[in-house]
Structure formats: structure tokens, C-alpha cells
């Protein structure tokens, strides 16, 4: 990304076209599902007490608002600057992926091993690639494990990999690691 593009992306309208179109489409999708996701209750005393009314009103207003905003925009098609801005919005989702991998790996590999791997991998990913930084990340993972499982007694399931350990060692790993 060149410097002029960086300056342009920081403008107020960068990505606005994509956001408005996306919000309009999501609003239309949600409004199309209002019949199956909410109900009309015959026992409600007033119309205002109907469970379907207020979500429907909100979604209709969202569709109208985003539709009118999209219609009033001078530029109706996204250009390269808009997609650069969208890329910036999507970049934090990478860390959601890291978290999901962490959550899925803990029951299989155990809390301490996964914490060590993820802490070191994230440290590496963020650009801190010295031995000291990686060692600090490992110490951090061990400290988190000691605090959560040892001191706070948080019940985190043991890893399936612990089943391969001998009896007493397996119990220690299940309780403390």
C-alpha cells in the first residue's frame, strides 16, 4: 500500500459504499427471516406487546435507512480505496481465528501445551521474533496456567492426549496442566 493510499483510506468516506451496501443486504436478510424467527402471540393484550412488532419495526427502519442512504450516495460502486478500507476491517478477524483454534485445540492437547503453542505463535506472528520475546511468551503461558488451574481452580477440561500418560502423571496433568 503506498502512502497516498494510506492517506486516502483514512478519509471519512472510505469504505462507506461497501458498508452501506452490506448493512442494507444484512437488514433485508434479517427482515426476510422475521416470520420464522419471531411469533405473533394471540394472547398479547396490545399490539405493542407482540413479540414480532418491535424487531420488525427496527428492521424496516434499517432497510429504509440504509436503502435511502445508498440511493443518496454519489458513488454507488466501490472503488479500490473502499476495498482497502474493507481489508482493514477484516484484518482483526484473523485473531478470532487464532482464538477459535485455541478453543478447539485445548480439549485435545491440554491447556498448558496449547497455551504455550498459541502464546509463542502469536508472539511470532506479531513480529516479536527474538529468543527473549518467545521465552517471555512461554513464561506468560505457564503463568496463565498456574493462575487459572492452580490458584483459581478454573475447571478446564484436560486434553485427550493426557490419556496416553501413566496413571499418577496423568492425574497430575489433568489437575494442574
Please give the residue that has the higher pLDDT: either 155 or 93: 93
pLDDT of 122: 96
Any alpha helices (H) in 33-92, and if so which ranges? 34-37, 53-72, 80-90
Please give the residue that has the higher pLDDT: either 116 or 15: 116
Q: Confidence band (pLDDT; 50, 70, 90) for 157?
A: confident
Q: Smallest Cα–Cα separation from 123: which of 114, 109, 136?
A: 136
- What is the spatial distance between Cα 65 and Cα 32, in angstroms, rounded to a whole number? 16
pLDDT of 102: 94
Dihedral sign, Cα of residue 144, residue 148, residue 149, residue 155: negative
The residues, ordered by sequence, that sit 6+ positions from 24 with a Cβ below 8 Å of its Cβ are: 63, 66, 67, 70
Amino acid at each position: 500500500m503506498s502512502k497516498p493510499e494510506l492517506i486516502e483510506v483514512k478519509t471519512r468516506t472510505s469504505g462507506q459504499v461497501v458498508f452501506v451496501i452490506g448493512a442494507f443486504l444484512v437488514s433485508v436478510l434479517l427482515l426476510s427471516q422475521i416470520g420464522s424467527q419471531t411469533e405473533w402471540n394471540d394472547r398479547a393484550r396490545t399490539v405493542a406487546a407482540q413479540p414480532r412488532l418491535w424487531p420488525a419495526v427496527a428492521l424496516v427502519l434499517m432497510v429504509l435507512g440504509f436503502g435511502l442512504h445508498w440511493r443518496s450516495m454519489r458513488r454507488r460502486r466501490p472503488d479500490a480505496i473502499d476495498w482497502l478500507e474493507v481489508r482493514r476491517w477484516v484484518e482483526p478477524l484473523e485473531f478470532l481465528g487464532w482464538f477459535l483454534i485455541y478453543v478447539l485445540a485445548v480439549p485435545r492437547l491440554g491447556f498448558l501445551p496449547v497455551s504455550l503453542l498459541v502464546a509463542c505463535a502469536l508472539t511470532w506472528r506479531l513480529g516479536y521474533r527474538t529468543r527473549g520475546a518467545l521465552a517471555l511468551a512461554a513464561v506468560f503461558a505457564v503463568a496463565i496456567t498456574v493462575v487459572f488451574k492452580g490458584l483459581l481452580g478454573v475447571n478446564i477440561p484436560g486434553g485427550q492426549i493426557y490419556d496416553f500418560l501413566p496413571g499418577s502423571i496423568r492425574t497430575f496433568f489433568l489437575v494442574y496442566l
